[in-house]
A and B are shown apart, each in its own frame.
Chain A
Amino acid sequence: MTAVRPGMTEQAGGGPKRVLRLAGITKRFGPLLANDAISLDLHEGEVLALLGENGAGKTTLMNILFGHYMADEGYVEAFGRRLAPASPKAALAAGIGMVHQHFTLADNLSVLDNVVVGTESLWRPWSDRGAGRRRLLELGTRFGLKVDPDAQVASLSVGERQRVEILKALYRDARILILDEPTAVLTPQESAGLFETLRRLTADGLAVVFISHKMHEVFSASDTVAVLRGGRLVATRRTAETDRAELAELMVGRAVKPPTSAPMAAGEPVLALSGVTVRSEDGRALLDRLDLTILRHQVIGIAGVSGNGQAALAELVSGLVAPESGTVTLLNAPVEGADPAGMVRRGVARIPEDRHATGLVGGMAVWENLIAERYRDPAFSRFGVLRRGVARRHAEEVIRAFDVRGAGPDTRTQLLSGGNMQKLILGRTLAHGPHLILASQPTRGLDIGAVSYVHGRLLEARAAGAGVLLISEDLDEILALSDMLAVIHHGRLTPLMPRESVSIQQLGLLMAGQWEGVLDGAPHGARETVS
């Protein structure tokens, strides 16, 4: 039960004032029922956790609340007034602020620009930037959200960007704050800081909705928890009156047994990076003298806050970029230059970070995507002519073997769900018995069934003798699958550490770049590698 704090408006019926009401929200995307008659209340000073698996409809619901989408049925009421549908402007005016999962900031503009844009009447002949700056600084001090108003957003860290997003809402006097998966991109320590900020805000009378699929966050930050499953609201509970077991059952609705990684003796090296440096076009070091060896029967997890070189590491192992210096050795033979097709031929299975942008060609058919890495293989083309019949039959096999739902060989891939797209990529890449698997954010945005499917396939491949390089921003995933792990920060990699030897707190510090002190106790002469 939310404690009624002094200064809060009491309603006639006792208890804090209701500030937000969602009534019977229904939303369809084509055949998919994303939200099914969802009704929810939110009160002053309350932190409501919206818990649910990926695909449960949480983000859709919040996007309707904030006016990005229009509900097919139902309405939103804020402070007793109905909101105009599909209008972020109306939501903002009603005092609703939203912190999107993918930040909505313009990199090339300053923090102040990003905060004040749209707050003044558009046709004012000048903007009052002095007043804007003062107010921003004042809010920053009051809520402990310090940022430099004149910094370019491009130069900010992920945590700082989130602060700017929250300040954007506060600047507009938001009384209701929605945060979509706010901790997904933060270190554990930053997450704790965020929850501290939320407590200050609710003490000030704000109401907060935060979306999450992580149980421990619900317990550390929320007063109330609403559980969504398959587009329906299955339960609302006082956080203090429920427990993990109940929530887990409500959230999943069925028993999903996560695949477990049994200890296994590692084999010979499949990939060795030695002193590898990769630079961006403007000369910044994206990877800085990296050393890493992956053995057969081994999952190596790379943890880190996004934007610390993960993308460059994945591109390197995918064969998209060549290192400026250092050596890459694959199965005891050197890798020269950038040659993605060559990496595939040599037994590297590559699962890219972004299924839509790099994994698949959305406008092409399933069979065409499935041969994308091997269309020059004599199996699929002869004398430059595609063997379409063979390719189609191959597609049918992969669809069967990898349980791709709702697709035939001629289906355009953009029509598939995220989970089925990922299965296609797995089918394309794992069907050929790889020696090395690069799995870059392999389960991002997938629902729990698809997650455990992907994890199961990765572990199967490990058992069959592949080495797996798992790059993930999801610490839970890293901890669940890895035999050894390392943390990447500013392009530098810590030495490998056995999974059992590190705590979450230590990982958080490493992810934040505070290697001093943490690595002192680490084995294998970590210090010299790091300094």
Chain B
Amino acid sequence: MLLEPRTHVPALARILAPLGAVAAALALCALLVAWAGAPVLRAYGLLLEGAVGSRFALTETLTRATPLILTGLAAAVAFRAKLWNIGAEGQLYMGALAAVALGGGLLDLPAWLLLPLVLLAGAAAGGVTLLGPAVLKVRFGVDEVVTTLLLNFVILLFVSMLLEGALKDPMGMGWPQSAPVLPEAELPKLLERTRLHAGLAIALVLALALWLIDARTVWGYENRAVGANPRAAAFAGISVTRVMLRTALLSGGLAGLAGAAEVTGLRGYLTLDLSPGFGYAGIVVAMLAQLHPVGAVGAAVFIAGLFVGADAMSRAMPVPNYIADVLVAASLLCMLVAGLLTRYRLRRG
């Protein structure tokens, strides 16, 4: 069996690939649902209903999708330049940390100034966090996968330390949580009586902007060249180091912004369970989107829907809500194969 590169990849195949992958993942996980003793179709029906079946469900899904779009973009821009940032989870917490540190009363500014400042600080914190591993990669050849992964643990401990120390809310009744951010640092709600906040709008605008940058600008051109063939890019005169560091700032920044937006738009304060793995799920978002910024929006909504829907489903059926995590992982693996099939055809001999 040989793999032969296709000379032409139809646009339709690029859209069908993630759909096929998701269908395959759903089919595989049906075995688990059946094992749990639940009727498969009804379980998936409940999942769908729980994700998009009502105005409430839909807004919950979109709320959940907001950080996922941002971490998905973080992974997409990094992977495009072959910077394997697996540390979005940590960068997200650093962004959230910066947001509560600045927005929690340290600065007393009007909302039009404080909110952008807090969000920017979150992005900056995330970006700087990834800069370290990126510098180690370009300077010493240290594999960034392992360093970013390990940093996730360091950062969570660091956040835990601050939440029990310097940032601990004196009014928090002993819980390890930060003081809430000032009202001036809160992202406005998009819809009355829902949790949907302006973070979604920011994420959508960023997705569009990144798409334009990628396709139309010198920056995007450099990123793609470095990602596809760093040696050839360097030979042509593109500074691979500069592209890597710039990508690190951008990718980490997006993840940091995700954390800042969660704090200022949804939670109001920081706890250690701010993210149920948004950073890791972002990798799946990016892969399902085939690293396309606009595709990341769709993929993020899908994955958010899985999580929200699975919560609803597991309340009605004896299927643990971890089924959502399994579905996400299976989607990623199926997507890898589907992506391969769009680029290659299988051939005998």
Interface residues of A (CB under 8 A from B): 30, 69-72, 85-86, 318-320, 339-344, 350, 352, 357-364, 368, 372-373, 375-376, 381, 384-386, 388, 414-415
User: Shortest Cβ distance from A375 into chain B, in angstroms?
Assistant: 6
Contact of A386 with B216 in the complex, beta carbons under 8 Å: yes
Main secondary structure of the interface of B (DSSP, over half): helix
Tell yes or no: B136 within 8 A of A by CB.
Answer: no
A340 contact from B7, B225, B237, Cβ within 8 A: B237
The residues of A that contact B228 with a CB separation of less than 8 Å are 361-364
User: Shortest Cβ distance from A338 into chain B, in angstroms?
Assistant: 10
- In the complex, 5 of the A-B residue pairs with CB atoms within 8 angstroms, ordered by the A residue number, are A72-B349, A340-B234, A341-B237, A357-B229, A414-B5
Tell yes or no: B235 within 8 A of A by CB.
Answer: yes
B235 contact from A320, A376, A384, Cβ within 8 A: A320
Tell yes or no: B153 within 8 A of A by CB.
Answer: no
Q: How far is the CA of A373 from the CA of B235 in the complex (A)?
A: 9
Nearest-CB residue, chain A, relative to B230: A361
- Of B2, B219, B232, which is in contact with the most chain A CB atoms at under 10 Å from its CB? B232
Q: How far is the CA of A359 from the CA of B5 in the complex (A)?
A: 20
Tell yes or no: B218 within 8 A of A by CB.
Answer: yes
Contact of A360 with B232 in the complex, beta carbons under 8 Å: yes
User: Shortest Cβ distance from A415 into chain B, in angstroms?
Assistant: 6
The residues of A that contact B224 with a CB separation of less than 8 Å are 364, 368
User: Shortest Cβ distance from A316 into chain B, in angstroms?
Assistant: 13
Nearest-CB residue, chain A, relative to B226: A361
The residues of B that contact A70 with a CB separation of less than 8 Å are 2, 348-349
B217 contact from A72, A352, A386, Cβ within 8 A: A386
Interface residues of B (CB under 8 A from A): 2, 4-5, 7, 216-219, 221-222, 224-225, 228-229, 231-238, 348-349
Q: How far is the CA of A65 from the CA of B22 in the complex (A)?
A: 43
Contact of B237 with A344 in the complex, beta carbons under 8 Å: yes
Contact of B225 with A361 in the complex, beta carbons under 8 Å: yes
User: Shortest Cβ distance from B140 into chain A, in angstroms?
Assistant: 12
Q: How far is the CA of A343 from the CA of B234 in the complex (A)?
A: 13
Q: How far is the CA of A341 from the CA of B242 in the complex (A)?
A: 14
Contact of B216 with A361 in the complex, beta carbons under 8 Å: no
Contact of A340 with B218 in the complex, beta carbons under 8 Å: no
Contact of A340 with B349 in the complex, beta carbons under 8 Å: no
Contact of A358 with B216 in the complex, beta carbons under 8 Å: no
The residues of B that contact A414 with a CB separation of less than 8 Å are 5
Evaluate whether A361 and B232 lie within 8 angstroms (CB atoms) in the complex, with A30-B4, A376-B218 already known. Answer: yes
The residues of B that contact A320 with a CB separation of less than 8 Å are 234-235
Q: How far is the CA of A85 from the CA of B2 in the complex (A)?
A: 14
Evaluate whether A384 and B217 lie within 8 angstroms (CB atoms) in the complex, with A320-B234, A340-B234, A363-B228 already known. Answer: yes
Evaluate whether A358 and B218 lie within 8 angstroms (CB atoms) in the complex, with A72-B349, A341-B237, A373-B237 already known. Answer: no
A85 contact from B222, B234, B349, Cβ within 8 A: B349
4 closest Cβ contacts across the A-B interface? Answer: A341-B237, A70-B349, A372-B236, A340-B237
Evaluate whether A350 and B235 lie within 8 angstroms (CB atoms) in the complex, with A362-B228, A363-B228 already known. Answer: yes
B7 contact from A69, A350, A364, A415, Cβ within 8 A: A415
Evaluate whether A386 and B218 lie within 8 angstroms (CB atoms) in the complex, with A340-B237, A373-B237 already known. Answer: yes
Q: How far is the CA of A388 from the CA of B348 in the complex (A)?
A: 40
Evaluate whether A359 and B219 lie within 8 angstroms (CB atoms) in the complex, with A72-B349, A86-B349 already known. Answer: no
Nearest-CB residue, chain A, relative to B224: A364
B221 contact from A72, A350, A368, Cβ within 8 A: A368
Contact of A358 with B7 in the complex, beta carbons under 8 Å: no
Contact of A385 with B218 in the complex, beta carbons under 8 Å: yes
The residues of B that contact A372 with a CB separation of less than 8 Å are 225, 232-233, 236-238
The residues of B that contact A363 with a CB separation of less than 8 Å are 228-229
Contact of B216 with A357 in the complex, beta carbons under 8 Å: no
Contact of B221 with A357 in the complex, beta carbons under 8 Å: no
The residues of A that contact B349 with a CB separation of less than 8 Å are 69-72, 85-86
Q: How far is the CA of A369 from the CA of B225 in the complex (A)?
A: 9
The residues of B that contact A368 with a CB separation of less than 8 Å are 221, 224-225
User: Shortest Cβ distance from A365 into chain B, in angstroms?
Assistant: 10
User: Shortest Cβ distance from A63 into chain B, in angstroms?
Assistant: 13
The residues of B that contact A339 with a CB separation of less than 8 Å are 237
- Of B7, B228, B237, B349, which is in contact with the most chain A CB atoms at under 10 Å from its CB? B237
Known: A340-B235, A372-B233. 12 other contacts (CB 8 A): A30-B7, A69-B349, A318-B235, A320-B235, A357-B232, A361-B228, A362-B229, A372-B232, A375-B222, A384-B218, A384-B219, A415-B5
The residues of B that contact A319 with a CB separation of less than 8 Å are 237
The residues of A that contact B219 with a CB separation of less than 8 Å are 384
The residues of B that contact A30 with a CB separation of less than 8 Å are 4, 7
Evaluate whether A358 and B225 lie within 8 angstroms (CB atoms) in the complex, with A30-B7, A385-B218, A386-B218 already known. Answer: no
Contact of A358 with B217 in the complex, beta carbons under 8 Å: no
The residues of A that contact B234 with a CB separation of less than 8 Å are 320, 340
Evaluate whether A352 and B235 lie within 8 angstroms (CB atoms) in the complex, with A70-B349, A372-B225 already known. Answer: yes
Nearest-CB residue, chain A, relative to B237: A341
Evaluate whether A375 and B231 lie within 8 angstroms (CB atoms) in the complex, with A340-B236, A364-B225 already known. Answer: no
- Of B216, B217, B218, which is in contact with the most chain A CB atoms at under 10 Å from its CB? B218
Contact of A361 with B229 in the complex, beta carbons under 8 Å: yes
User: Shortest Cβ distance from B216 into chain A, in angstroms?
Assistant: 6
User: Shortest Cβ distance from B79 into chain A, in angstroms?
Assistant: 14
Contact of B237 with A361 in the complex, beta carbons under 8 Å: no
User: Shortest Cβ distance from B302 into chain A, in angstroms?
Assistant: 27
Contact of B231 with A358 in the complex, beta carbons under 8 Å: yes
User: Shortest Cβ distance from B158 into chain A, in angstroms?
Assistant: 35
Contact of B7 with A386 in the complex, beta carbons under 8 Å: no
The residues of B that contact A342 with a CB separation of less than 8 Å are 237
Contact of A375 with B232 in the complex, beta carbons under 8 Å: no
The residues of A that contact B232 with a CB separation of less than 8 Å are 357-361, 372
The residues of A that contact B222 with a CB separation of less than 8 Å are 375
User: Shortest Cβ distance from A92 into chain B, in angstroms?
Assistant: 19
The residues of B that contact A357 with a CB separation of less than 8 Å are 229, 231-232
Nearest-CB residue, chain A, relative to B213: A384
Nearest-CB residue, chain B, relative to A71: B349
Q: How far is the CA of A318 from the CA of B2 in the complex (A)?
A: 38
User: Shortest Cβ distance from B155 into chain A, in angstroms?
Assistant: 32
Q: How far is the CA of A116 from the CA of B224 in the complex (A)?
A: 43
Nearest-CB residue, chain B, relative to A364: B228
Q: How far is the CA of A381 from the CA of B221 in the complex (A)?
A: 11
The residues of A that contact B237 with a CB separation of less than 8 Å are 319, 339-344, 372-373
Contact of B231 with A386 in the complex, beta carbons under 8 Å: no
Q: How far is the CA of A258 from the CA of B311 in the complex (A)?
A: 75
Q: How far is the CA of A249 from the CA of B186 in the complex (A)?
A: 82
The residues of A that contact B4 with a CB separation of less than 8 Å are 30
The residues of B that contact A358 with a CB separation of less than 8 Å are 231-232, 235
Q: How far is the CA of A318 from the CA of B235 in the complex (A)?
A: 8
User: Shortest Cβ distance from A156 into chain B, in angstroms?
Assistant: 26
Q: How far is the CA of A381 from the CA of B219 in the complex (A)?
A: 11
Contact of A375 with B235 in the complex, beta carbons under 8 Å: no
- Of A86, A364, A373, which is in contact with the most chain B CB atoms at under 10 Å from its CB? A364
A385 contact from B5, B217, B348, Cβ within 8 A: B217
Evaluate whether A386 and B221 lie within 8 angstroms (CB atoms) in the complex, with A30-B7, A358-B231, A361-B228 already known. Answer: yes
User: Shortest Cβ distance from A289 into chain B, in angstroms?
Assistant: 26
The residues of A that contact B238 with a CB separation of less than 8 Å are 341, 372
Q: How far is the CA of A375 from the CA of B239 in the complex (A)?
A: 13
Q: How far is the CA of A414 from the CA of B349 in the complex (A)?
A: 22
The residues of B that contact A69 with a CB separation of less than 8 Å are 349
Q: How far is the CA of A185 from the CA of B221 in the complex (A)?
A: 38
Q: How far is the CA of A414 from the CA of B234 in the complex (A)?
A: 18
Q: How far is the CA of A381 from the CA of B349 in the complex (A)?
A: 46
Nearest-CB residue, chain B, relative to A382: B218
The residues of B that contact A376 with a CB separation of less than 8 Å are 218
- Of A357, A381, A385, which is in contact with the most chain B CB atoms at under 10 Å from its CB? A385
